[in-house]
């Protein structure tokens, strides 16, 4: 069986009064008008299945064994025709030689489009070892995917390299960055299309820049600096704790190649800076943590007291012209009031909301099954858990599309181990709709793909610098950043 | 046509005299034309060589390395899934990786996989005869690449665990086969233009065959030089060998733009196996591949005409004999026949299949000291048989770190057997961790996927288990294994019906959880963790903690666990090793516990007294500690007190 009009729905069908089991679960989801086909596998029966898609302009039937593979051109036709409406999907499966029909479901087509690209780091859910890592970009309107950078383009057995934390200014790629650690370490920074390799570590700062956020209007980047450690649960299914024994915030002036301190308070672990859309506020997370055991190393004490580390959400006013920070205030007291820990804040493009990940403790919520996505209305300060986006497993790294209508989160709901990007519609009334998994051409792709989609970010355009150009630059010496005293 | 007519025509031809000048030429040709070595002799040589290579292959692969081949396939992976195919094609030569992984899975039945391999070698030898237009009499020389491939299969030693080339085991074999096919294809074309066109076609295979495409181009260049005729134009004399050489230079250069995950400088050697890690580069295992590539360069220069002269006959006989003898010597020398290396693999398989008697049989048969990995598997087997307290010290507990001998590769247990060892200790999180760490570094394989699936099942992470089982279901030889366990993912309570999980579940369920780390030292971690754990809810876990306290030789750790054991096993006989430890510790540190009222078996008491007296008298005789250990080993080597005093300098790794 293949696609399209040649198939006919079997006439002798026993109807089931329940939704079909399909993977990924696309039942009752709201999708962008420009998304690629939502191919899925029917997990009913053993051999054949098909699905009838009914939309205002007609109907199409697809089936390929147990897979429903939708023709891309016909899918575009369906989306255009169902814009602002829904597509009705009826699934049929052959079970023990007889056809069964299941309760139909709808796919709602929003009038809003989604940014054409996302990028993510493809990484095994690794602990310490690393080998092949890449930052990939995926076109959401089709299934095209390319590598932006692959560490194996410079790594050798003697000189391995880890890459992390890609970031873009205003969803565009002429100003972007990612870090490289170990061999050929440094920050790959694209400024107005020009590629540079910078060493952000100075004698006065804890580390090189780690978690970044590009200022929306000026050529500035806020980073955290972190001393990070990792330890392993002997039995707990969270398996890993990643902790910062120390962390501060720094500001990097791209034009001047200068690093200055934003915050380096003793007993405070400041991390995850993110700018408001107007660039006049910097939001960040901070945990108050006092070391009181001088007889052991900080990392050892942190391991003993890891559950005590709880982050709250703060903001600081910022004057982009003077680069002065002032008026630090607590925005959400998760640590003391709720005994919770918030991380990874991201402000909506209209500045009305802030998303973050919240769990019982710690800063690395991708390994915390209880981590969920919450949203604060910045005007009313009201916080709500986004049930439509969350699952029983870890949700972390929330981010907004450039038009603010789509939320993307990293979720481990599939199996608790591999993070996958889930996209949810966020309507004009501030309501999040059921999230759907990033569609793939082969619906069984995720079964065999043993890597996580780490730190998914929206982009409105692809990265134009080739992986080979990045590789050539990576081999050059990094330009050391200067330290600018306040 | 009758014979008569034929004869008459021949006579007519003979009587028709050519012009004088032609006559001279013919006479001269007739005089110089050598008589070829009889076809029968050539065929004989070819058959002898082919059979010898096949016998060598079968003997060394099947008879001597079956255990290694089984392990090799378990450290590989193949699936028809597009993700795996795409992963393979991520580097030049990916097609060979893909086909090679497909064939490697047949080592699940080592005889089957080895037979396929040997058949490909034989085919390659004969192909190269036609490719390079070599006379059968030189078959021994043609067989050298096959010998290289045999050596490359059996000489890896512990690199088996550190090999990162997907489908390494058949990679060279297939690479050489494809190289021959490409060159043969090229040789089918006689017209210059066609030859050039085909040369370009060969270059196009680079993404699929990697370095073997470049090798084929090199052979094409050499053959073009050899087949050059004096009346060829200068242009064709230049172009035919030059084009493939230029293509060797520029093909990887052009293709680099399509590979984001390969170093620029590696493009010319993509698919050539290098044996290196962060602390050692080993040249030895790469030698066969260098010889494999170099020897065919000589093929076009082998004499095309084989005279039936005594000299030539002797020459060919000598070359054939020398090649065969040297090949045999090389194969013998390269065959990594370290006893522990093979025994570890057999033990690992037996442990993986929970054939505990076989694990113990292997341990009993070790001629020298075992490796630490083997000691741990021995203990796991005894634990599962409930015999740790009675037999743990009856085996050789000395352990040496594995070495290759030919290089300084440092073998770490976390990369060879730790995931399975952790699993059987109920440390499923650590087993998962090292399975993933190793998969990240060396690629996912059947072995690690099985451990990951088992751990996920024991942990109750059913969706994760389902993912790994789904992947294994897509494979040829692990489908049944996965299908058997799949029902547990739907009904978790079914796991209780699978006895194979019982001890792991019991240990895991009764352990606490802490934040921890093993610093890459599996045995040291287990030793510390279990010897310091106290548990009174599980007999299995409690006894394990007692045994690790014994291995730690720590008196303070021993007594509380000993008394707890006695309390939890009231009415049961006290295992002999625990009695031995109690007697020893009670005598060494009488203040640590009062053993006067303990009901020790008479033979244990006598044994200890005998040991004590013997060591004292040897000490008084002036023997040093090592000598006393040796002297008492035959009588007391199976006791805890001998282990306590004389099992030392054990290097965990």
In angstroms, rounded to a whole number, what is the distance separating the alpha carbons of residues A149 and A163?
9
φ and ψ of B574, to 5 deg: -80, 125
What strands lie across the sheet with A194-199, from one edge to the other? A161-169, A172-182, A186-191, A194-199, A479-480
Select from B276, B440, B467 the Cβ nearest to the Cβ of A447. Answer: B467
Q: What is Dmax (Cα atoms) for chain B? A: 123
Which DSSP category does A247 fall into?
Answer: E
Taking CA–CA distances from B264, the nearest residue in chain A reads A153
Highest mean pLDDT among A298-307, B93-102, B224-233: B93-102
Query: What are the extents of the domains in chain A?
Result: 4-109, 117-474
- pLDDT for the residue numbered B5: 43
Question: Given this model, what pLDDT does residue A153 score?
Answer: 95
Q: Could you say which residues from 454 to 473 on chain A have a Cβ atom under 8 Å away from some Cβ of chain B?
A: 466-468, 471-472
CB contact under 8 A, B515 and A241: yes
**For chain B, what are the domain ranges?**
39-334, 339-400, 413-509, 560-646
| pLDDT score recorded for residue B305 | 78
Task: Give the per-residue pLDDT at B37.
Answer: 62
> pLDDT per residue over A421-463, tens digit each?
999 999 999 999 999 999 999 999 999 999 999 999 999 999 9
Backbone angles phi, psi at B405, to 5 degrees: 85, -50
- Domain A117-474: top CATH class: mainly beta
Q: What is the pLDDT of residue A134?
A: 94
Mean pLDDT, residues A198-204 taken together: 96
Instruction: Report the gap between the CA of B162 and the closest CA in chain A (Å).
Output: 11
How far is B73 from B77, CA to CA, in rounded Å?
A: 7
Cα–Cα distance, B96 to B102 (Å, whole number): 10
A-B contacts (CB, under 8 Å): 134
| pLDDT for residue B238 | 87
Q: In the prediction, which pLDDT does B36 show?
A: 56
Cis omega (within 30 of 0) on the bond before A126? no
**Which chain A positions have a beta carbon within 8 Å of B254's beta carbon?**
none
B chain contacts of residue A235, beta-carbon cutoff 8 Å = 428-429, 508, 511-513
Give CA–CA dist B433/B427, Å, rounded.
10
Tens-place pLDDT, residues B264-288: 999 999 999 999 998 899 999 999 9
Q: What's residue A421's pLDDT?
A: 98
Distance, CA of A75 to CA of B467 (rounded, Å): 29
pLDDT tens, position by position, A28-87: 999 999 999 999 999 998 789 999 999 998 999 999 999 999 999 999 999 999 999 999
Of A223, A141, A77, A193, the C-alpha closest to A460 is A141
B112-140 pLDDT, tens digit per residue, is 999 999 999 999 999 999 999 999 999 99
Between chains, do B517 and A160 touch, taking CB under 8 Å as contact? no
Q: How big is chain B by its Cα radius of gyration, in Å?
A: 33
Kindly state the average pLDDT of the residues B215-229: 93
A339 touching chain B per CB within 8 A? no
User: Do B433 and A471 count as a contact with CB atoms less than 8 A apart?
Assistant: no
A64 three-class SS: strand
Is B63 exposed, middle or buried (CB count within 10 Å of its CB: 0-12, 13-18, 19+)?
Answer: exposed
Cβ-defined contact of A415 to B463 (cutoff 8 Å)? yes
Q: Is the pLDDT score of A217 beyond 80?
A: yes
The Cα B54–Cα A253 span in angstroms is 69
Task: Give the integer Cα–Cα distance in Å for B558 and B564.
Answer: 10
Residue percentage of chain B with pLDDT more than 90: 84
Say whether B433 and A306 touch across the interface (CB within 8 A).
Answer: no
Nearest to B452 by CA among B478, B491, B413, B476: B478
Are residues A234 and B513, on separate chains, in Cβ contact within 8 Å? Answer: yes
Q: Are B246 and B236 in contact (CB under 8 A)?
A: no
* Cross-chain residue pair A448–B79, CB shorter than 8 Å: yes
Mean pLDDT (chain B, rounded)? 92
**Residue A350: enclosing H or E segment and its boundaries?**
none
Token readout for A343 is 């991380």
CA distance A295 to chain B (A): 19
Strand partners, A356: A374
The residue whose two tokens read 């021959």 is B180
Residues 83-112 on A with a CB inside 8 Å of B are none
Total Cβ atoms within 10 A of residue A364: 21
- How does DSSP assign A125-187, residue by residue? --SS-----EEEEEETTSS-EEEEEEGGGT--SSS-EEEEEEEEETTEEEEEEEEEEETT-EE
Higher pLDDT, A413 or A3: A413
Among A397, A340, A418, A361, smallest CA distance to A241 is for: A361
Report the mean per-residue pLDDT for chain A.
Answer: 95
Strand partners, A433: none
Select A4-109's CATH number: 1.10.3470, 2.60.40, 2.40.128, 2.20.25.
2.60.40
Rounded Cα distance between A484 and A252, Å, is 9
pLDDT tens, position by position, B138-174: 999 999 999 999 999 999 999 999 999 999 999 999 9
């Amino acid at each position: 069986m293949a696609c399209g009009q040649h198939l006919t729905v079997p006439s002798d069908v026993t109807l089931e009064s329940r939704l079909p089991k399909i993977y990924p679960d696309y039942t009752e989801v709201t999708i962008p008008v420009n998304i690629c086909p939502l191919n899925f596998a029917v997990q009913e029966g053993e051999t054949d299945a098909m699905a009838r898609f009914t939309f205002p302009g007609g109907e199409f039937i697809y089936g390929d064994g147990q897979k429903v593979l939708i023709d891309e051109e016909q899918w575009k036709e369906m989306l255009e025709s169902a814009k602002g409406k829904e597509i009705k999907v009826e699934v049929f499966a052959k079970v023990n030689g007889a056809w069964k029909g299941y309760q139909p479901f709808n796919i709602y087509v929003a009038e809003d489009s989604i940014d054409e690209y996302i990028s993510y780091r493809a990484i095994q859910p690794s602990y310490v070892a690393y080998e092949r890592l890449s930052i990939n970009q995926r076109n959401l309107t089709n299934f095209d995917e390319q590598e932006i950078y692959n560490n194996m383009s410079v790594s050798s057995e003697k000189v391995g390299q880890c890459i992390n934390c890609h970031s873009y200014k205003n969803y565009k790629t002429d100003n972007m960055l990612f870090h490289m650690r170990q061999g050929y370490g440094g920050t790959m920074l694209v400024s107005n299309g020009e590629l540079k390799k910078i060493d952000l570590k100075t004698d006065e700062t804890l580390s090189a820049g780690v978690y970044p956020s590009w200022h929306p209007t000026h050529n500035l980047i806020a980073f955290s600096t972190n001393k990070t450690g990792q330890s392993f649960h002997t039995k707990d299914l969270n398996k890993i704790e990643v902790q910062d024994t120390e962390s501060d915030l720094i500001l990097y002036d791209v034009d001047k190649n200068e690093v200055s301190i934003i915050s380096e308070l003793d007993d405070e672990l400041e991390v995850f800076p993110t700018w408001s859309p107007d660039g006049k506020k910097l939001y960040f997370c901070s945990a108050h943590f006092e070391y009181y055991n001088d007889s052991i190393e900080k990392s050892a004490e942190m391991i003993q007291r890891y559950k005590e580390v709880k982050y709250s959400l703060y903001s600081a006013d910022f004057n982009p012209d003077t680069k002065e920070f002032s008026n630090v205030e607590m925005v959400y007291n998760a640590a003391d009031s709720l005994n919770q820990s918030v991380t990874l804040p991201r402000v909506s493009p209209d500045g009305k909301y802030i998303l973050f990940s919240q769990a019982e403790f710690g800063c690395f919520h991708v390994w915390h099954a209880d981590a969920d996505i919450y949203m604060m209305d910045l005007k009313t300060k009201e916080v709500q858990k986004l049930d439509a986006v969350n699952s029983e497993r870890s949700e972390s790294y929330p981010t907004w599309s450039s038009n603010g209508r789509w939320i993307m989160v990293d979720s481990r709901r599939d199996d608790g181990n591999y993070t996958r990007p889930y996209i949810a519609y966020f309507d004009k009334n501030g309501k999040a709709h059921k999230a759907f998994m990033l569609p793939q051409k082969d619906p069984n792709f995720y079964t065999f793909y043993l890597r996580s989609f780490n730190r998914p970010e929206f982009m409105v355009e692809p990265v134009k610098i080739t992986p080979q150009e990045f590789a050539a630059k990576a081999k050059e010496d990094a330009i050391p950043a200067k330290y600018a005293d306040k | 046509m009758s014979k008569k007519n034929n004869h008459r025509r021949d006579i007519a031809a003979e009587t028709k005299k050519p012009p004088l000048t032609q006559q001279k030429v013919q006479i001269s040709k007739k005089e110089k034309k050598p008589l070829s070595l009889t076809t029968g002799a050539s065929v004989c040589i070819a058959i002898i060589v082919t059979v010898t290579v096949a016998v060598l292959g079968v003997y060394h692969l099947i008879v001597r390395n079956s255990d290694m081949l089984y392990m090799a396939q378990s450290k590989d992976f193949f699936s028809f899934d597009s993700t795996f195919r795409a992963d393979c094609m991520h580097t030049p030569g990916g097609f060979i990786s893909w086909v090679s992984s497909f064939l490697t899975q047949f080592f699940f039945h080592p005889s089957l996989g080895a037979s396929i391999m040997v058949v490909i070698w034989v085919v390659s030898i004969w192909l190269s005869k036609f490719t390079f237009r070599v006379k059968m009499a030189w078959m021994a020389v043609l067989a050298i690449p096959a010998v290289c491939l045999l050596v490359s299969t059996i000489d890896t030693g512990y690199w088996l665990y550190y090999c990162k080339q997907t489908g390494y085991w058949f990679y060279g074999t297939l690479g050489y086969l494809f190289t021959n096919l490409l060159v043969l294809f090229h040789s089918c074309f006689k017209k210059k233009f066609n030859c050039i066109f085909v040369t370009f076609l060969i270059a196009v295979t680079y993404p699929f065959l990697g370095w073997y495409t470049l090798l084929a181009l090199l052979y094409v260049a050499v053959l073009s030089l050899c087949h050059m005729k004096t009346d060829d134009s200068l242009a064709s004399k230049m172009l035919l060998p030059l084009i493939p050489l230029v293509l060797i230079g520029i093909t990887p250069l052009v293709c680099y733009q399509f590979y984001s995950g390969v170093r620029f400088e590696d493009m010319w050697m993509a698919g050539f196996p290098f044996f290196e890690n962060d602390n050692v580069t080993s040249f030895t295992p790469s030698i066969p591949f260098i010889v494999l590539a170099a020897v065919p360069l000589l093929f076009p220069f082998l004499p095309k005409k084989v005279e039936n002269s005594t000299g030539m006959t002797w020459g060919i006989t000598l070359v054939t004999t020398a090649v065969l003898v040297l090949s045999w010597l090389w194969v013998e020398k390269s065959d990594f026949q370290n006893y522990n290396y093979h025994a570890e693999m057999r033990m690992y398989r037996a442990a993986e299949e929970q054939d505990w008697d076989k694990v113990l049989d292997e341990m009993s048969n070790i001629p020298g000291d075992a490796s630490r990995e083997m000691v741990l598997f021995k203990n796991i087997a005894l634990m599962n048989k409930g015999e740790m307290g009675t037999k743990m010290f009856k085996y050789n507990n000395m352990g040496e770190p594995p070495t290759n001998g030919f290089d300084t590769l440092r073998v770490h247990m976390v990369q060879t057997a730790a995931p399975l060892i952790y699993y059987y200790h109920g440390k499923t999180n650590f087993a998962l961790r090292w399975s993933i760490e190793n998969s990240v570094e060396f690629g996912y394989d059947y072995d690690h996927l099985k451990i990951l699936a088992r751990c996920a099942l024991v942990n109750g992470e059913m969706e994760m288990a389902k993912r790994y089982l789904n992947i294994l279901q897509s494979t040829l030889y692990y489908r049944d294994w996965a299908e058997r366990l799949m029902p547990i993912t739907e009904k978790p309570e079914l796991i209780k019906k699978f006895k194979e999980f019982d001890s792991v579940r019991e240990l895991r369920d009764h352990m606490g959880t802490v934040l921890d780390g093993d610093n890459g030292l599996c045995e040291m971690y287990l030793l510390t963790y279990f010897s310091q754990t106290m548990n009174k809810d599980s007999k299995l876990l409690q006894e394990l903690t007692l045994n690790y306290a014994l291995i730690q030789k720590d008196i303070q750790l021993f007594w509380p666990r000993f008394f707890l054991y006695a309390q939890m096993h009231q009415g049961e006989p006290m295992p002999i090793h625990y009695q031995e430890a109690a007697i020893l510790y009670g005598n060494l540190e009488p203040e640590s516990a009062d053993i006067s009222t303990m009901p020790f078996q008479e033979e244990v008491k006598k044994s200890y007294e005998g040991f004590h007296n013997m060591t004292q008298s040897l000490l008084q005789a002036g023997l040093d500690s090592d000598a006393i250990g040796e002297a008492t080993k035959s009588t007391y080597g199976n006791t805890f007190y001998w282990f306590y005093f004389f099992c030392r300098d054990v290097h965990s790794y």
